[in-house]
Chains A and B, each alone.
Chain A
Amino acid sequence: MRFDRDKVPDGDRLRREARVAGLRDFRTPSLEAVERRRKQLWLVMTIVIASVAAGVMVVARPAGSSPHMLSEPLLRLSVIVLAVACCAYAIEKEVHLGRATRMLTDERVLTAALTNRLHEVSLLLDAGRAMNQLLELSELLETVLRSACELLDANGGSMMLAEGDELVTLCVRGREEAVGARLRLGEGVAGHVALRREPVLIEGHVDPKEFPGLADRAPYVESAMSLPLVHRDEVVGVLNVNAAADYAFTEYDLRAVAVFAEQAAAAIANARLYEAERAHVAELIELRHRHIGEVG
């Protein structure tokens, strides 16, 4: 029966290549073990070839010093056969080591990508848990921004909440003087994001035509993201995050933080509702006190 490589699971293929290549721990191969085996193979080949060369020199001594143990044609043939066999062995092992290296590198790339994903998911869960435990708006905004920065390894950002047709900056990391700044919906990057309800990934020069009303101070952004915080079809605010100096955000980052933004929007809407209820209760208590005072 013909062996079909495609139908064999990757793990089995890798173990098979490792076994054929001569790895001692072929059940749990690693790139380091493959490299060790490769070095070992070439060392053995060098020793074998050197030994053969030395042997030939000894056997083929000048005529007269001692009688030849082997006839010259036979000697030549033996050397050629030995050299060809050694080369074929080395090439065959090298082919399998090459395949094992490729598979292990693929596995390492995939593992790294999936580990990153797992780390993000666990950060998202932690952030979601932390956000759901908070009802104080200022504390919540602080937590949302801190979690977003941690999730993306960002070096700063801001949280803006919608108030009528404006966005108000309530929480900032990195440029504290921006707290309290107001922006009309549709103005600048954040205003555009809130109006369009679409996240934006910015890198390099920002086109003022694309974002009318863009502040003069920010025509160049190394790498940043701006996401609308939408809850029950209502924009509650905008989350802005700036990348660290040596990093550029990718679409993958944007997708990860978009999941986070959904949770943040719901938590903010709840906190606002709680604040409104608390204000309402305080108002009722005051009314009651006033009423008791009047009656008394």
Chain B
Amino acid sequence: MMAPTLKPRVLIVEDDPDLLVVLRVNLTAMGVEPILAGDGRTAISRIQAERPDAVILDVMLPGIDGWSVLEDLHAMGDPVPIVVCSAKKDAEDMERARQLGASGYIVKPFDIDRLIDAVLEATGRSRKREPGRATELGIEGPELA
């Protein structure tokens, strides 16, 4: 199968500037075009306006939180793949995310490679092989997948 040629566009929804910058830099290095949102309201408007290929969604956000964003998108029937990031590792929260249509659930603090793999998988891509890093490259599916 031929690899898709267009860059996948991923929306990062995060209020922590450090994490926002780290994810942006790493995703750009992986050949992804990142777009940013610092709160739930901006996230919903950017999803509707720019149709990203995937969304990395922090649950704890100022104003409209991540759960409300998920609920709104679920109610709208928006099929965009969403990888939820949360500090909570309760099965209840994971189940809630799954029911609201999330395609992955990553617990914070997370391994950046793991998150990127989950996002790439959500966009239907895989990490490019780099010589000497074979063991790191096997894609581990998102926890909910």
Residues of B within 8 A of A116 (CB): 15, 17
CB of A250 within 8 A of CB of B35, answer no
Residues of A within 8 A of B34 (CB): 106
CB of B60 within 8 A of CB of A109, answer no
CB of A250 within 8 A of CB of B36, answer no
The majority secondary structure among interface residues of chain B is mixed
> Is the C-beta of B144 less than 8 angstroms from some C-beta in chain A?
no
Q: Which of A6, A102, A110, A250 has a CB less than 8 Å from the CB of B20?
A: A110
User: How far is it, in angstroms, between the C-alpha of A250 and the C-alpha of B15 when the chains are bound?
Assistant: 9
> Is the C-beta of B99 less than 8 angstroms from some C-beta in chain A?
no
What band does the interface of chain A fall in when counting residues whose beta carbon is under 8 Å from B? 10 to 19
Interface bits B6-42 vs A (CB < 8 Å: 1, else 0): 0000000001111011001000100000111110001
Interface bits B41-75 vs A (CB < 8 Å: 1, else 0): 01000100010000000101111010000000000
CB of A252 within 8 A of CB of B16, answer yes
Q: Which of B16, B37, B61 has a CB less than 8 Å from the CB of A109?
A: B37
Q: Which of B36, B61, B63 has a CB less than 8 Å from the CB of A110?
A: B36
CB of B87 within 8 A of CB of A251, answer yes
Known: A102-B50, A105-B46, A113-B16. A6 touches B28 (CB 8 A): yes
- Among all A-B residue pairs, the 3 with the closest Cβ atoms: A113-B17, A250-B60, A109-B36
Binding site for A on B (CB under 8 A): 15-18, 20-21, 24, 28, 34-38, 42, 46, 50, 58, 60-63, 65, 87, 108
> Could you pull out 15 A-B pairs where Cβ atoms are within 8 angstroms?
A105-B46, A106-B34, A109-B36, A109-B42, A110-B17, A113-B16, A113-B20, A116-B17, A248-B65, A249-B60, A250-B58, A251-B16, A251-B87, A252-B15, A252-B16
Binding site for B on A (CB under 8 A): 6, 102, 105-106, 109-110, 112-114, 116-117, 201, 247-252, 255
